[in-house]
Homo-oligomer: A and B are copies of this chain.
Amino acid sequence: MDTEARLKQSWDENAESWITSVRGGHIPSRQLGTDGAIVEIVRALSPRSVLDMGCGEGWLVRALAAQGIEGTGMDGSAALIEAARHENIGVFRHLSYEALVADPVQVGGPFDAIVCNFALLGEVLAPLLTALRVLTLPGGHLVVQTAHPLSGGDAAYAAGWREESFSAFGVAYPSPMPWFFRPFGNWVSLLTETGWTLTHAHEPLHPHTQRPLSLLLVARNPA
């Protein structure tokens, strides 16, 4: 199986563990700042409608709903979408990234903002980011939260596949998840090449170590 397929399958296999981790508040970096950062940054853009691409079990759609923002969640995992729908807040679609690329408007829209919260994990992202631009009007926003380039450790500072074991998340996960590490410049080029204009980057810090917890990229659809 190729690595992109293993990535997708890991979400099917880990769905139950993931729901436990997210709903139990067991992911330290999320509690320390990344959950709060994405909600605050989306809220500051004042969108009426948001697409949460790769929404998982749907916590962000619910958090945005609490701010009066209408959210649509989309995910490739049937188990995660089922869990999201069970909470009765927001609209959720079970759709793979490939299906979205093939026919973007089936997910609805146009949206004032699109959010990818730790959801751009594969190597080939240009078709998806191009499709997401179709789902916004000129002036619409894309907000991407991802692993910070400083968090790559002592490995070469170069784009490439890494593996997440979820060992810090408090419950057992059946499958390690492959994910594609990107240096800062890789993200900038990717946005430019898919027609987005990068306007801001936020780097929430760990309150004690003062090291970045994540990288949040805010881009605008220029036309």
Contact = CB atoms under 8 A, between A and B. Distances in A.
Nearest to A212: B157
Interface string A198-220: 11111101000011100100000
A150 B90 CA distance: 39
A69 B8 CA distance: 49
A200 B157 CA distance: 17
A157 B188 contact: no
Copies of this chain: 2
Contact of A183 (B185, B192, B199, B212): B212
A66 B24 CA distance: 62
10 contacts: A150-B150, A156-B205, A156-B210, A157-B205, A157-B210, A158-B205, A183-B212, A184-B184, A192-B199, A197-B197
Interface of A: 149-150, 156-158, 183-185, 188-189, 192, 197-203, 205, 210-212, 215
